[in-house]
Structure 1
Amino acid sequence: MLAPRFGLLSIRCLSARQLVYSEYGDPAKVVKLQTIELPDNPPPGHVHVRWLAAPINPADLNTLQGVYPIKPPLPAVAGNEGYGRIVKLVYSEYGDPAKVVKLQTIELPDNPPPGHVHVRWLAAPINPADLNTLQGVYPIKPPLPAVAGNEGYGRIVKVGNGVKNVRVGDHVLPAKAGLGIWRTDGHHKEADVFPIDNTLPLEASATLQVNPPTAYRMLKDFVDLKPGDTVIQNGANSAVGKAVIQICRIRGYNSVNIVRKRDNLTELVNELKGLGANEVITDEQLVKEYRGKIKDARLALNCVGGKSTLMLAATLGFRGCMVTYGGMSKMPLQIPTGPLIFKDIRLAGFWMSRWYEDASHVEERKKMYAELGGWIKAGEFRSPSFEKRRLEDHSVALEAAGVQFDKKQLFIL
């Protein structure tokens, strides 16, 4: 009888865990947990199944004790009953993310079509852009019904005819937003995936596409920053904000970081300074204590909008630049007239998804991922902490993502 594995496929490459026994006896003593490596592709006539759940029946205990009629050759994998499947999270309408997303079982052909690859998606975070997409308020609107999820990473397990630039075993990201990767497996055009370093940790790989690159590009593309220059930002406790702090530390820029006043302010200040922040202050402190003290910032980064931008703009030096990449307050920017006229400050916007759409950025994208990956592997850049979830727990995860901004949600696919 087919033996389902008592355990889930590992999240790293094609490793798997299984419960094995090499002798008969007390079930609690003879069964051992074993990690194995699976081939990239199943043999002819076979299928790769991700087992999800398996009960322990009396027959299983009898088999382990050696008193059941079915006796597979030892060593053997335990378990006689269970189920596995390929699933995805789909939405057919816009609305409350926790309500409109549904878990759906899918069937994939054995082989991807020509020019396509089979990706086994491994992990994907829930970002604000994902929630906005499900609510129908994000600029990217794939035809409905659609698979949710804009960021994450997977491993190529099969390639179709004509695929040239990626191969089996490569770790990949979506080439751009809107691919829909909250799924265990998918067939995608070769051009829709982008290879990355296979040796990066899971959390780093899953979040390499959006937040660290947003920080990286804003610090690189708008002002020619030099060591010792000052960068000021609001929303400093966001994922992008924490990435900005770390890149500033690595490159020798001074970072001034604005956060909202809160009960755990001391804890947050210590966390951000632990990442390398030079200053961490509240909006109130910026107005009352630091007004006039910060006046030569070269770059200001805004993800809040509203009144916060008044003070950000006032801190800029001659021909400084304020880049807006978010609008958490949902209020328009407020810009003082004086700095625009007398300091010739510049205002700009940035959207990472738009940058990825420019085909001329392919080589620069490779360089960016290589530099970020190098910092990660050297221990100089830390990924955020996550609460890990299964796709089956999507409602709970999506609800938490809308209120728990200090801890991101990560689907282990």
Structure 2
Amino acid sequence: MNSPRISPRIAAIAPSATLAVDAKAKELKAAGRPVIGFGAGEPDFPTPSYIVDAAAEALRDPANYRYSPATGLPALKKAIAEKTLRDSGVQIDPSQVIVTNGGKQAVYEAFATVIAEGDDVLLPAPYWTTYPEAIRLAGGNPIEVFAGSELEYKVTPEMLEEAYTENTKALIFVSPSNPTGAVYTPEETRAIGEWVKSKGIFVLADEIYEHLTYDDTPFTSILKAVPELADHAIILNGVAKTYAMTGWRVGWMYGPADVIKAAGNLQSHLTSNVNNIAQHAAIAAVSGSLDAVEQMRSAFDRRRKAIVEGLNAIEGITCPTPKGAFYAYPDVTGLLGKTIDGVTPQTSEELATLILEKAEVAVVPGEAFGPSGYLRLSYALGDDDLAEGVRRIQELLATAQ
């Protein structure tokens, strides 16, 4: 038998760099090292109590101990449709919604449903680490379109046009962005939506950070900006970031009827229904007040300003001010090739390793998200840890020469 032991498609998958950095930080902390982790994109707040209470109540209902519809509880799909109209100004029918086991499953199912072998997918970079792997698993080719710090990490229709080929099937559009925190303006979103419409391709829009914008920056759903995209837009979302529910694993996708029907068939074989208790918690989350969300957003905003100020005070670093999410994405090309505490890093991966070993601070190198020369720091951690972590980085990098 000549077949390899591990499927080549699976063997080619790179592990999640962000989870690997977070795991390494936790391993070092468990060993007694005072490591501060900027790696994981996970709010440090507890899930709001009213959401936990809804889950506790659902836990006592025997109906939730049984299988439920594979594409989601009808009550949750209805709540998501109502929430979408409230928050995005986009009207959808509950039948257009699939509830998934976290946002990642929505990403995988969306690509698996519309991408065929050999299709090209335009992937604005820096990108979230999962996107290219999900594209490749579907048989597609991720085509990176890179926008650097001078463009605030935002691509333009002209850049997309240059990367477009006759094999292009879809564009992934993320605003607010992980890893950069970039937020496209309403005008920029409309321009990209109009370009997508002109090409007749799909757009997969990840809107999971929709409630986390700052400096009066509005969130604009690409479907709100260009309603005519309704037949070619798949929207991905979830409760993880907005409601501090990363471990509850509830996401969703909505889109055209034929896409949703096909993705629902896939999910019926892949996982069946999402955990019923978590779904009831999600109903409380998306239907409830946004007061708790605003409190968390206010804390993130304070930390955002502190981390950007601290990073920009380091010679050799340029950090654009992120307008959304909870990430800073400094350009560190000015430090590469310089000697820092006896070490001369040539890549951002080597610099991140140096920062972990010498300063005991975990950051994620730009290689995880596209080109080298950048670092991602999540500021979804306590104020004291953030201040101490930035101080350590400043102290170490001050030795660069």
Of Structure 1 and Structure 2, the greater strand share is in: 1
Please confirm whether the aligned pair reaches a TM-score higher than 0.5, indicating the same fold.
no
- TM-score normalised by L of structure 2: 0.31
Of Structure 1 and Structure 2, the greater helix share is in: 2
- TM-score normalised by L of structure 1: 0.31
Higher relative contact order (CA 8 A, sep 6+): 2
